[in-house]
Amino acid sequence: MKRTVLGLAAALSLALAGGAHAQAYPTKPVTMIVPFAAGGPTDIIARIVGDHMSKTLGQQVVIENVAGAGGTTGITRALTAAPDGYTIAMGHLGTFSAAPATYPGLKYDPINGMQPIGMAGGTPILIVGRKNLDAADLKAFVAAVKANPDKFNEAHAGLGSVSWTTCTLFKGILGTPKLNAVAYRGTGPALNDLVSGQIDFMCDQIVSVSEQVKAGTIKAYAIASAQRSPALPNVPTTTEAGLPEYQIEAWNGIAAPKGTPKEAVDRLVDALNKALNDENTKKRLLELGTVLPTAAERTPDGFAALIKRDAAKLDPALKAAPK
């Protein structure tokens, strides 16, 4: 019944060529599932973007935090919901690109089984080491790790986390997949042990580590993106530092269940783009150290391509990683 009404509404609004109509999607609040706890980086981005999307959609975007299993619990719930445009999810690199290779029993398929909406923001990844490591630059560090993988300890925020995913890729590229990895509950405690020199290195988002790098309590070897970051202009890119294969970014993006009506998808894409073009929203995202997505990445096709590309990049390393 509900669906017929919706279908009717969709047909009607199509007939009106996108003109505003009282019956058009959305007629009730849209639930955006955030698969992590409130207050985390994904949650904050979802709230900032969702806030502005509410204005464009004319309906409240309600954030619902469904945390668990590296974010896959929430994404599973969102993608198995009715494909009516009223349930969407804010996922990230881990839940959309890395999860299939990380969790063998995964109940959703981010490549063929969902409707991407668009990317909301990206965060560069940094390779950081404890401040008294001998290696002065990335080349020396890579050489030292390759020569003596048994001498190093890497920290990450648990299986499936961004730090685990990106560092597993790093170790895959170095050919040292079995290097000692120490799991922490979140990157905060991991960083703490890096500062106190209990562990040797980690890969993490620039937002979490930039303060410590600036304070000189940890060493930044390289940033795994194409350009240097204005937040840390002295840190070379991996290409400059001699490891061009290691390029990865932690991004966040919105997806809906497969089969969501095109009209709803278009409205959501439009709302996302309006949010990302809004000066105030932009400012709030940039303050977080977020890199705004390119025009292509803000579309369903561009976002799908990104998911696919990173999945292909991560797959071999993740499958080879000891779990």
Partner 1 sequence: MDMFSNLALGFGVALSLQNLALCFAGCLVGTLIGVLPGVGPIATIAILLPITFGLDPTGALIMLAGIYYGAQYGGSTTAILVNIPGEATSVVTTLDGHQMAKQGRAGVALGTAAIGSFFAGCVATLFIAALGAPLTKLALLFGPAEYFSLMVMGLCFAVVLARGSILKAFCMIMVGLLLSTVGTDLETGQERMTLGFAPLADGIDFAVLAMGVFGFAEVLRNLENPEARDVVKTKIGRLLPDWNDIKQSVAPVLRGTFIGGILGILPGNGAVLGPFASYTLEKKIAKDPSRFGKGAIEGVAGPESANNAGAQTAFIPLLTLGIPPNAVMALMVGAMTIHGIIPGPQVITKNPDLFWGMIASMWIGNLMLLIINLPLVGVWVKLLQVPYRLMFPSILIFCCIGIYSVNNQPVDVAFTAMFGLFGYLLIKLGFEPAPMLLGFVLGKLMEEKLRQALIISRGSFMTFVERPISAGLLVVAVVILVVALLPSINKKRDEVFTE
Which residues would be at the binding site for partner 1 (CB under 8 A)? 37-40, 43, 64-70, 73, 102-103, 153, 158-160, 180-186, 188-189, 191-193, 195-196, 198-199, 211, 323
Q: Is the Cβ–Cβ distance between 28 and 57 less than 8 Å?
A: no
Please say which residue, 219 or 267, places its beta carbon nearer to partner 1: 219
Beta strands in 247-300 (DSSP E): 249-257
Q: Which of 141, 122, 120, 121 is nearest to 130 (CA)?
A: 141
* E-assigned strand segments in 103-259: 114-130, 153-156, 180-183, 201-205, 218-223, 249-257
Least distance in Å: CB of 320 to partner 1? 15
CB of 201 to partner 1, least distance (A): 13
- We find the least distance from the C-beta atom of residue 40 to partner 1, in angstroms, to be 5
Shortest distance, CB of residue 195 to partner 1, whole angstroms?
7
In this complex, which beta carbon is closest to partner 1, that of residue 89 or of residue 265?
89
Is the CB of residue 255 less than 8 Å from the CB of residue 96?
Answer: yes
At its nearest, how many Å lie between partner 1 and the CB of residue 266?
29
In the bound complex, what is the minimum distance in angstroms from residue 226's beta carbon to partner 1?
29
What separation in angstroms does the CA of 199 have from each of 103, 147, 184, 265, 305? 27, 18, 11, 45, 36
Please tell me the distance from the alpha carbon of residue 89 to that of residue 113, in angstroms, as a whole number.
14
- Looking at the Cβ atoms of 120 and 318, the one nearer to partner 1 is 318
Separation of alpha carbons 300 and 246, rounded Å:
26
Q: Pick between residue 23 and residue 65 the one whose CB is nearest to partner 1.
A: 65
- Name the residue nearer to partner 1 (CB basis): 23 or 180: 180
Nearer to partner 1, 169 or 243 (CB): 169
Task: Name beta bridge partners: 198.
Answer: none
CA distance to 6, 195, 247, per residue, from 280 (Å): 33, 34, 30
